[in-house]
Structure 1
Amino acid sequence: MLVNMGIGLIMPITTLYIHGTLHKSLVTAGYVLFCFSGAMMLGNLIGGHLFDHWRQKPLMYLNGSGVVLALLLLGLFPQWPIYPILITLYGFCLGGLNSAINGYIAFLQIEDPNIFNNGYWFASLGMGAATFLSGILFGVSIRFVFFSSAFLFLVTTVIIKIMFHPVHKHPVPTQKKVDSDKKNHFLISILLICFVMVVIWICYEQWNSNVSVLMISKHISVPKYSLLFTISTIEVIIVQPFMNRFFKPSFRSEKNRIILGLLSFAFSYLVIIDTGDYWRYVLGITLVTFGEMLALIAIPAILNRYANDQNRGTIQSLGSFSGSMGRALGPLFGGYLITTFNYSWTFWGMFLVHLLLILPILSLQNKKSK
């Protein structure tokens, strides 16, 4: 929750600050965000690898301290050209911290099958609170945004120090080691899941970027667009606790959740084609929210089923990397498709792509059944 609050305070005002306060072009702002996302992806991969092959808590301390340092320096020196350098450093350390925490959660899932569900609920609560506070703090001073975020990550690091217990890895017994064909099958399954994750986020990012332009062109105000994400957060907070009652932790259940989530994502783009009715955008963001609660929680859980105690961090980092890649490519791909075709054909394409993604998910087989 604290990590997502720290992220949520900064990201909504990044483009606004670069373009409106630092007086740089939107293209420059896009490059800065791309550097941030690229650094975060690199941090995801390195953090996951080190989680499996180094000491877990020192890794979290190192990345947490790097995030706090970058944010404190941003609060002290929020000027160009040091701003993009520090934002990139922030992204790299944030990626490493996220991978380490996700790897730690993957170990805890062995004892608590619902931990990914609960973690997502608290993360959504933190993100919702932060996006609300971000504009208020930015209205006072950009320094308040960075210092507040630094404080949240400092508290995160202290909690890790006090509350996180060392991870005890169990060696893989020789008789349970799989042959090369089965290893290749598991790898293909993991890559398919990661590919699905990339595509989901490329499409999802349209709601964070190009849908706003579409709604304004339909004479729907910016406050009404912003309200969509408040509605989404409220839906998560209310509905998410009940998800565990409908979906018990199992490989089959997690596959079904991803399939239902893909269907929900698909129809979210269908309902906003050629419309100026606000209620249809509300319906669209509601379908996106259910897609999140179904698919985006099940994906790290099902990835964890292909892991053992020697590679849980690495496999979770691949999922985080895929999400970061999708978020980085989303505005670029969406802008290209909308410019080349139009909004309607782009959303039709996204609808069909999500339906096609169901096929690789149907082909997944449980690791234990191999």
Structure 2
Amino acid sequence: MISQSSPDGDVHKPQHVEIKAIILYITTFFQSTGASLIWPITTLYMHNVLHQSMTISGVVVMGLSVTMMFGNWLGGRLFDRWSPYKAMTLSVGVALAILIMLTFWHSWPVFALFMLLIGFADGLIYTLVNAYATTIQSIDTRKVFNFQYLFMNVGVVAGTAIVGFLFDYGVQYVFGSAAIMYTVFFILVIKYFNIKGLAKQSAQAAARAAKSTFKTPTIIYAILGLAFAFYMSYMLWETVIATHMTDLGMTTKDYSFLWTLNGIIIIFGQGLLNRIIDRLPLRLTVLGGSTLFALSFLVLIQAKTYPMFIVSFVILTIGEIFASPQIPAWVDKLSDPTAKGHAQGLLTMFVSLGRAIGPLYGGLLIDGGSYKSLFASVFILMMFFVALTLILNIRHLKK
């Protein structure tokens, strides 16, 4: 909040400042498109082109997610205690510089080093974008995150559709295209994210947070655990399942098309969901969606043909539509109103932790067991956190 004075010196009621929602959505689209050009081919590029083992590839992707966690944590602190605009500009600028260098230098082990750095920069960006989203009070928070998620997935459709074709011509075209997307993202941040009064508003909120006696409800930790399990499982589709499909005789374009289909379903599904979102309780959308998401891995256990992979991914996508955009909204609703950046930073840290553990966990279970045991184990883990969150939510409502 920032206070305004009249010409006579009377202090008016503090005025809330926020980013324009449409600006947030457009920048989310360009960031998502750029990122979606990179992550679908990371494991494939290391394994098939740079000739690294699945375990090594898993370690690199895990390292990327670990550096992303540090970025998530730092992003929350910078938003609450420094300057949201300066933090955002610096983060996007660093990510853009790394992508430009990746376009020209992408051999081993330089590729791995740059991926760790891009993970850190994107970690900052994800938390800061979510924190900017929480400043919007003119629109219901659930709708803000829903529309942000919608634009993110339009970017996923665009990015994954392009990368399936660019990768065959050379990875330099992939990274060059990602750099172009981040260039537009950077320009938009410089032009529109310097919101007058936001830094002061964040500083005032941080001062109130230091004096706050708010006690974090236990259910938030269960939701964080659910987010961890959700994205650890999701990461398998971004890494080891790509190799699993090619081992079964399917192509990179087949795999890329799944993500395009994923984005198309989300775009239409999210549009329908936005019309009824106010009537659905958060616990229903998050826990129901997470259950569907978990069930998709039971289908995946038996998948040996491309249509079965499509069926599994469609079920997963429907679950994702309900759960994923509502998790940050639920955390925002339950968290300390004076520490929005911290709450979103904590959530994105658990998301990144899931992304960090997923590839390594998948690689270890495949090397020491089988794909079936891997898919069964993540189903059990997901359902454990669904049950735990449900129980703690009942207790929380009683209080």
Q: TM-score, normalised by structure 1?
A: 0.87
Which whole-Å CA distance do the structure 1 matches of 2:306 and 2:44 have between them? 25
Which whole-Å CA distance do the structure 2 matches of 1:70 and 1:352 have between them? 38
2:322 counterpart residue number: 294
Change (3 A) 1:258 1:273: same
Matched residue type, 2:329: A
CA contact (8 A) 2:206 2:339 kept: no
Equivalent in 148, 157, 162 of residue 133 of structure 1? 162
Question: Is 2:117 the partner of 1:89?
Answer: yes
Instruction: Determine helix, strand or coil for the equivalent of 2:393.
Output: coil
Change (3 A) 1:17 1:109: farther
1:120 counterpart residue number: 149
Mapping for residues 344-355 of structure 1, pairs under 5 Å: 344-355=372-383
CA contact (8 A) 2:46 2:57 kept: yes
CA contact (8 A) 1:48 1:103 kept: yes
1:201 counterpart residue number: 231
Matched residue type, 1:55: S
CA contact (8 A) 1:232 1:289 kept: yes
Mapping for residues 70-85 of structure 1, pairs under 5 Å: 70-85=98-113
2:356 counterpart residue number: 328
Change (3 A) 1:365 1:152: farther
Which whole-Å CA distance do the structure 2 matches of 1:21 and 1:96 have between them? 29
* Bigger mean CA deviation after superposition, 127-136 or 357-366: 357-366
Instruction: Determine helix, strand or coil for the equivalent of 1:111.
Output: coil
Question: Is 2:73 the partner of 1:45?
Answer: yes
CA contact (8 A) 2:55 2:360 kept: no
Which whole-Å CA distance do the structure 2 matches of 1:368 and 1:225 have between them? 43
Instruction: Determine helix, strand or coil for the equivalent of 2:334.
Output: coil
Identical columns (%): 29
CA contact (8 A) 1:51 1:313 kept: yes
Question: Is 2:46 the partner of 1:7?
Answer: no
CA contact (8 A) 2:297 2:378 kept: yes
Equivalent in 314, 322, 331 of residue 303 of structure 1? 331
Which whole-Å CA distance do the structure 1 matches of 2:72 and 2:207 have between them? 28
2:132 counterpart residue number: 104
**Count of equivalent residues:** 362
Question: Is 2:269 the partner of 1:232?
Answer: no
Q: By how many angstroms is 1:10 displaced?
A: 1.7
Change (3 A) 1:295 1:74: same
Q: By how many angstroms is 1:40 displaced?
A: 1.2
* Bigger mean CA deviation after superposition, 240-249 or 3-12: 240-249
2:312 counterpart residue number: 284
Gaps of 5+ in 1: none
Which whole-Å CA distance do the structure 1 matches of 2:251 and 2:175 have between them? 29
Q: Residues 72-109 of structure 1: CA distance to partner in whole angstroms, max 9, x if unpaired?
A: 22223334443333222222111112211111011115
Which whole-Å CA distance do the structure 1 matches of 2:183 and 2:303 have between them? 45
CA contact (8 A) 2:40 2:238 kept: no
Q: By how many angstroms is 1:207 displaced?
A: 2.5
Q: By how many angstroms is 1:116 displaced?
A: 0.6
CA contact (8 A) 1:172 1:308 kept: no
2:183 counterpart residue number: 154
Q: By how many angstroms is 1:244 displaced?
A: 1.7
Q: By how many angstroms is 1:115 displaced?
A: 1.0
Q: By how many angstroms is 1:20 displaced?
A: 4.3
Change (3 A) 1:216 1:313: same
Question: Is 2:291 the partner of 1:263?
Answer: yes
Matched residue type, 2:160: T
CA contact (8 A) 1:99 1:320 kept: yes
Q: By how many angstroms is 1:283 displaced?
A: 2.0
Q: By how many angstroms is 1:192 displaced?
A: 1.7
Which whole-Å CA distance do the structure 2 matches of 1:19 and 1:210 have between them? 11
Matched residue type, 2:161: F
Change (3 A) 1:215 1:17: closer
Q: TM-score, normalised by structure 2?
A: 0.81
Which whole-Å CA distance do the structure 1 matches of 2:332 and 2:281 have between them? 14
* Bigger mean CA deviation after superposition, 343-352 or 191-200: 343-352
Which whole-Å CA distance do the structure 1 matches of 2:51 and 2:246 have between them? 23
Which whole-Å CA distance do the structure 2 matches of 1:217 and 1:25 have between them? 14
Which whole-Å CA distance do the structure 2 matches of 1:17 and 1:279 have between them? 25
Change (3 A) 1:173 1:311: closer
Instruction: Determine helix, strand or coil for the equivalent of 1:276.
Output: coil
CA contact (8 A) 1:74 1:86 kept: yes
Change (3 A) 1:342 1:21: closer
Matched residue type, 1:208: E
Q: By how many angstroms is 1:7 displaced?
A: 0.8
1:191 counterpart residue number: 221
Change (3 A) 1:311 1:233: same
Q: What root-mean-square deviation, in Å, do the aligned CA atoms of Structure 1 and Structure 2 show?
A: 2.9
